[in-house]
């Protein structure tokens, strides 16, 4: 299956360290060779990169690894294809507009063919993956039930979780979803997160020989949460989500 990576922070932060570990799993230390993508939010704007090539061999991935793009919210994905050909149209994360915001979605897992019986209203897939179809259905449901952006995220959060429960009934459904402020993480099988804040320490990646002392790279007020399918470091305590659990982050903290 695929792997997910997300970040929520209270200050613009780069994800070079975590992405350095994830990209190794895209054909190096892992089998996810069927494309990768990443989206960085800058306010309501989105800077996104997609490549159907393995991330471990991708020149674009090397750029992301070495170039510190600062962002408050990031979603990334490395793909191991099961539904849909390996091509650019089928490369996560996917984006659509709602309420004047660009929503970004990435999915890990595989859903039953019954998914394609769910009616689509406002959004339709460009590619042929079950993931993009699920995203189009989910965002259409949100649009129908919340014509305007809600001031309180609680009702929206409950609705998204109920909709994700419906998708989880069709198979494996691990998801990251954002509209620039809130980062929704839903788990069926594997998803873990860690919040880094003062006092910061050193972290070491599992998938390559790279460590960073966050004390030297941050200020005492920084708060950064990273979400991943599998923990990326081997010397930190990650928290794992349970099946059917959803957690929402804003400014680096759970809502």
Catalytic sites, residue numbers? 2
Return the pLDDT at 152. Answer: 87
Distance of alpha carbon 54 from alpha carbon 79, whole angstroms: 9
On whether the CB atoms of residues 37 and 31 are closer than 8 A, the answer is no
Q: Domains in the chain, start-ordered, CATH in brackets?
A: 3-254 (3.60.20.10)
Residue 65: predicted pLDDT: 94
Please identify which residue in the block is written with the tokens 């928290």.
239
pLDDT (average), residues 144-158: 95
Task: Give the pLDDT confidence of 200-233 residue by residue, as tens digits.
Answer: 999 999 999 889 989 888 899 999 999 999 999 9
Query: What are 232's two structure tokens?
Result: 């990326």
List pLDDT tens digits, range 90-117.
Answer: 999 999 999 999 999 999 999 999 999 9
CA 191 to chain centre: 10
Residue 201 Cα distances to 20, 73, 188, 254, angstroms: 18, 22, 31, 21
Question: What does pLDDT average to over the chain?
Answer: 96
| pLDDT, tens digit, 9 for 90 and up, residues 3-56 | 999 999 999 999 999 999 999 999 999 999 999 999 999 999 999 999 999 999
């Amino acid at each position: 299956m695929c792997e997910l990576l997300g970040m929520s922070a209270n200050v613009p932060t780069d994800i070079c360290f975590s992405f350095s570990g994830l990209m190794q799993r895209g054909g190096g230390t892992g089998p996810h060779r069927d494309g990768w993508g990443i989206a960085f939010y800058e306010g309501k704007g989105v800077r996104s990169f997609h490549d159907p090539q393995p991330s471990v061999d991708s020149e674009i991935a090397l750029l992301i690894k070495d170039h510190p793009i600062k962002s408050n919210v990031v979603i990334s994905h490395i793909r191991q294809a099961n539904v849909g050909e390996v091509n650019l149209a089928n490369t996560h994360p996917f984006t659509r507009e709602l309420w004047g915001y660009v929503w970004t979605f990435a999915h890990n897992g595989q859903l039953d063919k019954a998914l394609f019986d769910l009616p689509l209203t406002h959004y339709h897939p460009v590619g042929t993956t079950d993931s993009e179809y699920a995203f189009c259905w989910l965002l259409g449901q949100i649009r129908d039930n919340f014509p305007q952006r809600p001031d309180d995220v609680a009702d929206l959060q409950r609705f998204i979780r109920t909709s994700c429960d419906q998708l989880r009934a069709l198979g494996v459904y691990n998801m990251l979803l954002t509209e620039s402020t809130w980062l929704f993480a839903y788990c069926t099988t594997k998803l873990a997160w860690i919040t880094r804040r003062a006092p910061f320490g050193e972290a070491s990646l599992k998938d390559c020989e790279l460590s960073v002392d966050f004390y030297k790279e941050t200020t005492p007020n920084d708060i950064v949460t990273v979400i991943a399918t599998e923990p990326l470091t081997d010397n930190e305590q990650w928290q794992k989500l349970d099946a059917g659990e959803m957690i929402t982050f804003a400014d680096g903290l759970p809502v």
